Amino acid sequence: MCEAARDGEASVTRSLRLFAQELQGLVLSLRGQADRLVCEAHPAGHAVAAAATQLGALADELGHHLTPASLQRALDCETVSLDALVAEAVASLSAILSPGQRTWRVSGPPVLLWADRRGLRQVLARLLGEAIRSSGQNDWIEITWQIEADHLILTVEDEGAGTATPGSIGANDERPGPDSRGIGLRLALARMLIEAHDGTMEVEALPRIGTRVTVWLPASRLRHTTEPALADATA
């Protein structure tokens, strides 16, 4: 009976995690609709944005309670292309956000990593999702990475309202910036996955300026590097 109960709990937990992920996608889609309505001075724009914020808070709480205290799953590592994963994440989130738009600034050398592909996808989805939520219509989101002697540095930065001061007013659309607890809830799993890859993550936020998340991965995760490739697009 105990074993059956554990199996049932595990099944329900998996289902709720999938639901939380789908809910986060719905939040970004609603956010994109709100951005467009606000830019068009539609009277419902701020109401839709408020609904997206409330729904996002529910998704954050659900995700927080489903995040394990420690990462039990062993990493399933393989050789993965960082630049390909970034391009995939940008394309996926841009499609979800539509008709909302962000200007993506992507810069970094082609890099192969020895890493868990699914785990890195989740990290990028959460980092870029947070940047979308912290920014407004047509704002830029910059994704850069570079190789130093003993590590890879990946940075995601936006020009949104920032997260340092609760209730601060953003310059673009008068949105309150999320508080530090909110960003902690949203990026808890991303931080755990990075730490499971022997890396570290740091968040910096300034009111009315934006948020920067920096990830460091050790040289032991690097498999190959070549010359830098640059990209800049609005999607």
Flag whether pLDDT at 54 surpasses 60: yes
| Residue written as token pair 């738009």 | 101
| pLDDT tens-digit readout, 112-144 | 999 999 889 989 988 998 899 888 888 999 999
Exposure string (b/e) for 171-182, b if CB count within 10 Å is 16 or more? ebbebebbbeeb
β-strands 140-148, 103-108: how paired? parallel
d(CA 184, CA 33): 25
Give the domains, in start order, of the chain with CATH numbers: 2-234 (3.30.565.10)
Spatial CA neighbour of 86 closest among 53, 56, 131, 52: 131
pTM, rounded to two decimals: 0.73
CA 155 vs. chain centroid, Å, equals: 12
- Output 59 or 158, whichever has higher pLDDT: 158
The pair of three-digit structure tokens given for residue 231, joined into one six-digit string: 């990209």
- In Å, the largest CA–CA distance within the chain is 59
Length of the chain: 235
Task: Describe the chain by its helix, strand, coil percentages, rounded to 5.
Answer: 50, 25, 25
- Helix (H, G, I), strand (E, B), or coil: what is residue 171? coil
Q: What angle do CA 44, 60, 26 make, to 5 degrees?
A: 45
Q: What's the confidence (pLDDT) of residue 89?
A: 93
